[in-house]
Amino acid sequence: MRIVITGASGNIGTALVERLSAGGHELVGIARRPPEPGPKLAGLVEWHSADLAEPESTRVLARAVQHADAVVHLAWGFQPSHRLDLLEALAIGGTRRVLDAVAGVGVPHLVHMSSVGAYSPKSSDAPVNETYPTDGVPRSPYSKHKAAAERLLDQFEQTSPAVTVTRLRPGIVGRRSSGSALLRYGVPGLVPAKALELIPVLPLDPTIRIPMVHTEDVAGAIALALQARAPGAFNLAATQDVTAHDIASALGARLLPVPARVLRFGVSAGWHARLLQLDPGWIDLASRVPLLDTSRARAELGWNPTATGPEVLHEVLAGMADSAHGDSPALRSRTVADQVRHAFRRGPIAHRRHP
């Protein structure tokens, strides 16, 4: 198959490229910063450079999706968190441009990477299936954007019934090589990676339970969905969710019980003071996101996760502590020196506009 992948240089994208290339598929990657010639990843894909937040990307998309058997839409943004207009331009504007390109040439299959964040707040810790409302968690920009993208898909299915639409809704996705990227997203630039191993006390709401899933398992689910051309939504989560105690234990820290509303106040203060990259909406998401029933993916796709939630957590935190990285610009190595240099030239990542 000829498969077009937006966000192909990111955490999920690179894992998917490696998996699909092993199956002999013809791959087309779209990324704001494609890999440089040389690394293995660059040779596996026909690369197109485009920022889906920009209207100019429409022309690149139109060329890239020609003769495609499927489009996998992974591109999303997490920073700059102080520029919600830019994040919305990518999340909503970018998704709309992908849908227009798919409809324009009649691509038969679209796989959209949604998220557990698209779901409405949980009412209990009972896992929810794919019929649970996708209205997002209030005060979380990430969640609101994921929910808005779901509404675009609803409209698209009405106007383009010939296109099979697959929606994947994973929990928090990670692997070791995403460590440097996660450090850039969530840890102040002057804080060295090894400081994660020196946290004595972790203030966190003890009631938090979060679904996680390994990046490789998500890539496997995408491959299965492509093979089956499976319509509809599929939850993806590892067995055994991650608790506040799991997080503290993985960091070697003592859990200090702090209600989510108090923690949100502190994160909000740090974010508004430009000391933290993560906006306080992530605290709302962590405390209110539902757990996931993955029965449908198991039964209809034959999907089985290979790692438990705590195993994914340990691998991700170890990767962050070691500044683990991949071959693509999105997964490049993170050092304090680089963070300081980039902040001096272009400002902190939380509010600068990437060229």
Cβ proximity of 256 and 213 under 8 Å: no
Q: What are phi and psi of 25, to 5 degrees?
A: -80, 155
Q: How far apart are the first and last CA of the chain?
A: 33
Q: Estimate to the nearest angstrom the gap between the alpha carbon of 103 and the chain centroid.
A: 24
What token pair was written down for 37? 């010639």
Task: Using the predicted structure, report yes or no on whether residue 327 has a pLDDT greater than 90.
Answer: no
244: left (phi over 0), alpha (psi -120 to 50) or beta: alpha
Cβ proximity of 211 and 309 under 8 Å: yes
What token pair was written down for 5? 């992948």
Q: Which of 117, 113, 167 is nearest to 137 (CA)?
A: 117
Return d(Cα 10, Cα 265) in angstroms, integer.
31
Give kind and range of the element (H or E) at residue 30.
strand 26-31
How buried is residue 67: exposed, middle or buried, by Cβ count under 10 Å (0-12/13-18/19+)? Answer: exposed
Return d(Cα 319, Cα 242) in angstroms, integer.
17
What token pair was written down for 132? 């649970």
pTM summary value: 0.93
Read off the pLDDT of each residue in 282-296 and give the average, rounded to a whole number. 97
The dihedral sign for the CA sequence 61, 153, 165, 80: positive
Residues in CB range of 306: below 8 A, 6 or more apart: 214, 216, 217
Read off the pLDDT of each residue in 69-86 and give the average, rounded to a whole number. 94
Read off the pLDDT of each residue in 14-39 and give the average, rounded to a whole number. 88
DSSP class of residue 331 equals G
In a domain, 267, yes or no: no
pLDDT of residue 47: 93
Average pLDDT, the chain: 92
In a domain, 107, yes or no: yes
What is the CB neighbour count within 10 angstroms for residue 31? 25
Confidence of residue 35 (pLDDT cuts 50, 70, 90): confident
Which alpha helices (H) appear in the chain, and where do they start and end?
Answer: 11-22, 40-43, 57-64, 84-88, 95-105, 141-159, 179-186, 215-228, 244-251, 260-272, 281-288, 295-296, 309-321, 336-346
In a domain, 257, yes or no: no
Model pLDDT for residues 234-275, shown as the tens digit of each residue: 999 999 999 999 999 999 999 999 999 999 999 999 999 988
In a domain, 270, yes or no: no
Confidence of residue 336 (pLDDT cuts 50, 70, 90): low
What's the domain count of the chain? 1
CATH code at position 26 = 3.40.50.720
- Helices 141-159 and 95-105, interaxial angle, to 10°? 20
Question: Quick check: helix, strand or coil at residue 134?
Answer: coil
Range of the domain at 142: 2-245+277-346
